[in-house]
Every structure is written in C-alpha cells, then in structure tokens.
Structure 1
Amino acid sequence: MALWIAAVNIVLATACHLLLPDRWAVTGMAGGYTLSCLAGLALTARRLRGRTGGRLDDGALRRTYTKLLVAAGLAAVAGWAADAACAAALGGGTVPTATALAAGSLTLVLVYLGVARLTKVDELRGLRRPQDRPFR
C-alpha cells in the first residue's frame, strides 16, 4: 500500500513541478501529498473492509477524518495569519523570519489541538494520559 501512496505522490509532485509556476510548485506538492494520503486512507479502508468482512465502521472513520481535516484547515489559516502578522510587524532578516515561523508553527499546533479537542476527537485522550493508550 505504501508503494501506491508513494506512486500517487510522485505523479502529483511531478505534475506540480512541471505545470505550476516556481512560486506555487512547493505549495502544489504539499497539496499533492495531502491527496496521496487521502488516497491511501481510501485504499486502507477498502482493504480493511474486505479483510473484516465489511465490519469496518465507515461512518466513524469518516467523522474522525472530517474532524481532523477541519482542525487542520483552521489551524493552517490561523498559523498563516500569525506568521504574516509577525512578519509584517518585525520585518525581514534571519531572526524576525525565524520568530514569525515559530509564532506561526505554535499557533498552528495550538489551534489544531484546540479544534480537535472541541470536536471531541477520541485519539487525543492518548496524548494526555499515555496509560490509556490501547497499544504500548
């Protein structure tokens, strides 16, 4: 399955490199990576459904990934806004750029975790209490 995911990623990354302007190629590659992961999720769900005799709870899987996708989207927007605000306030240079990057990254992580918690993503419980994890 990893080969299929990698193949989709390679095709999309190559298309971005060849078709998009240099300024947007890396952004397109990130989007392509996201699409290849979603293709991997679909392939994994299909194979699991076949191996479990159809007992895979597609609804729960869809709900969890929808919540995570919403959290990631909101976090990306908030992280970009924090980075842009810091960059505008601090100007250019190595230290201001690193500060803006750190502010954007921290905002991204906090918003992602906050939205995931508000939407009650069950997998977050393992982050707070490692002893509750099903696998050790």
Structure 2
Amino acid sequence: MMLANDLKTYYDEVRRYLDCPKDEQDRLLLSVNKQVIELQVDNPNLDYDGNVEFLGEPESLAASLMERLSPDVIQKFRKRKRHLRMSAIVCIAAIVIVLSTVLIYTTSIQFKSDLTEENTIIIDDGETFPEVEDTLVDTETLIKEIS
C-alpha cells in the first residue's frame, strides 16, 4: 500500500509538468502505470526507489511523455490556456475599472455638495409687527423730504 501512495505522489508530480489536457495526462500516466505494473510482476521485490530509477525524475518523464503527443493537441491546449488567461485578465481589468469609476464618482459627489448653513433667530417679545401697508412710505413724500 505504501508503494501505491508513493507512486500516486510521483504521478501527481509528473502531472504538474505535463502541459496538455487532463484526459491526455490520464492516458499518458495510465500507460506509465501499466509499465510499472509489468516491472513489478517481473521484479516483485522492487521498491519505490527502484521504480523511480526505472521511470526517471518526474520532469524528465513528463518531457518524454509530451513527445508522444501530437503537436496539434499541445498547440490547441496552449492556445485555450492562453485564451483563458487573457479572459481572466480582461475580467479583472474590467472589475478594477468599474470599482475605480464608482470610487471616483462617489468621492466627487461628496466634494460637490455645497453645504450652506443658515440660522434664523425669532424673538417673540409679545409685540405685534406693524402691517406692511403702514410701513410703506409714499415715494413722493420721501423725495420731498430728501430734497
């Protein structure tokens, strides 16, 4: 059981270096696992280190597995990966622009609002105010007084 766990960890490491679709990774690693099983049948006492010695380092095994793939498969996968990255970058940029615009707008609204404060004091001492008609002065009378 220990060998199976160690091999799974090894295969996960190989998978990190495989630049191809997941189904292709599965197919390639299945063929590697078949080779390991055949090796185990021929050498039942072979341990994990012996398997790694047979398979090589994860990075070099991944490179040799990638050579088995069609260039079209690799190219389509890389193109799709690049497209997804660009889409993510565009989405993030759009979110940053929208948030910046909202921030600038709300900040400018706060600075545009002119607050004016008016105080009105009303003192009621019980007197009544004269009527407006009583306070109006005849313009002719006013002119005579001035001259």
Using structure 1 for the length normalisation, give the TM-score.
0.31
Which is higher, the Rg of structure 1 or of structure 2?
Answer: 2
Bigger RCO of structures 1 and 2 (CA < 8 A, at least 6 apart):
2
Q: Of Structure 1 and Structure 2, which has the larger fraction of its residues in helix?
A: 1
